[in-house]
Amino acid sequence: MYAIWLPQRSSPSWQRADSGATIGGTFQVRVVVRPDNGYLYGGPSNVSVVATSITEIADHHAGPTHMGNLAVVSPNAAYGDPTTGSVAVLQSEYLFLPHNATYRLRVRVRYLVIPPFPPRFVEEEGEMLLTIRNLQIVDSRPEPCFVWTPEQMGGVPFSAQLLCAQQATCTVQLEIFSSEDNQNPVLVRQFENVSRPGSWSWTWDGRLADGSTAPAGVYSYRLSARSEPMPWMDFDCTISSFLHLERAYDSNNQPILEAEYWDYDDGGTVEDETDDHYLYFVRWYVLRGTRNASRGQLWLFGPGWQRVGVWDLSQLPCVEHGNQPDGLVAAPSGMRHGVIVRVPVS
């Protein structure tokens, strides 16, 4: 049992990958059936597939899937198949495993062998491990946001590594969002024919699509890379395509842009202000997705755009849900959150 794939996308030459190999892109599984003693009764057409499974070996995506139909094909000496004697080769449909992980693939077959006569049934199972390394974009910045101050900065550099087991080219796209709207980008740039594996870099001069200079502020961005389908598109993005962070809207369908002053906490010491806090109610986000977020932070910036405070959303009480620290909970229809932030008076 082995797989065939294209190490180079532009090459028509499919290569063999045995158990333990690392591959990427589209591939097919081939199973060679050859009795140790005797012959296949009825020939290759009499070999049947009893069961197949593909299991990702990971806690977060564990669970079996199937590889579809396997059809009889001719043995291929270029792949190391035996071309003489009683042999059958089965080949799967095109497969594309989306997660970069190690998978266990199993195929169980049933066939008749002679002698003796009458023929006897034999069942055998083949197993192999494959590590998938599809297109992956690794951003050089630890966080997908930045501060832009045009009077102090000449530009904003971006760079990323493009990792993949298969050699090819891809399209890199950069989208920049203002802090007021994280759904509609203020700038979109595409870069064609970027080599993968390889690296990409570009410096934004601060100009928007209309040629004007972007105002000072905090901006978020999304990097994505895609390769044309064969037959599936290979794609990766620095921001989840399945979990969406959206600004909340009030009863008049207007975006909630401001934090609301909530209370004052003197820490139980009226005379001592060093332990005093302002409490703010932040009603600013909705999480939409089929799974919860794994991590989240709220940042506070000063008038000069310097970061002066960071809070863990998983620890903040949510006024929307009985002051429970559930700020990372998402729902397919959207889960609205309003958290209380303690800002030191100092």
Query: What per-residue confidence (pLDDT) applies to 230?
Result: 65
**Which candidate, 331, 328, 336, 338, places its Cα nearest to that of 293?**
328
**Gap between the Cα atoms of 11 and 230, Å rounded:** 13
Contact 198, 148 (CB under 8 A): no
**Which candidate, 308, 340, 309, places its Cα nearest to that of 324?**
340
**Which candidate, 71, 53, 217, 48, places its Cα nearest to that of 148?**
217
Neighbour-count burial of 159, counting CB atoms closer than 10 A to its CB (0-12 exposed, 13-18 middle, 19+ buried): middle
Residue 205 DSSP SS3: coil
**Which candidate, 179, 280, 289, places its Cα nearest to that of 245?**
289
User: Can you give the pLDDT of all 346 residues of the chain as single tens digits?
Assistant: 999 999 998 888 999 999 999 999 799 999 999 998 899 999 999 999 999 999 998 766 666 777 889 999 999 999 999 998 899 999 999 999 988 999 999 999 999 999 988 889 999 999 999 999 999 999 999 988 999 999 999 999 999 999 999 999 999 999 999 988 888 999 999 999 999 999 999 999 999 989 999 999 999 999 999 988 766 788 999 988 889 888 888 889 988 888 889 999 998 998 898 899 999 988 788 999 999 999 999 998 888 898 989 999 999 999 999 999 999 999 999 999 999 999 998 8
Query: What per-residue confidence (pLDDT) applies to 59?
Result: 63
What one-character DSSP code corresponds to residue 95? B
**Gap between the Cα atoms of 207 and 163, Å rounded:** 30
What one-character DSSP code corresponds to residue 136? E
How far does CA 2 lie from the centroid of its chain? 26
Residues with Cβ within 8 Å of 29's Cβ and at least 6 positions away in sequence, in order, are 1, 2, 3, 67, 70, 91, 92, 95, 105, 107
Contact 82, 5 (CB under 8 A): no
DSSP string, 6-63: -SBTT----EEE-TT-EE-S-EEEEEEE--SSSEETT-GGG-EEEEEEEEE-SSSS--
Residue 71 DSSP SS3: strand
Extract the tokens encoding 213: 């200079």
Residue 320 DSSP SS3: helix
**Dihedral angle, C-alpha 306, 311, 312, 313, nearest 10 °:** -100
**Gap between the Cα atoms of 156 and 202, Å rounded:** 9
User: 0.75 cut: is pTM over it?
Assistant: yes
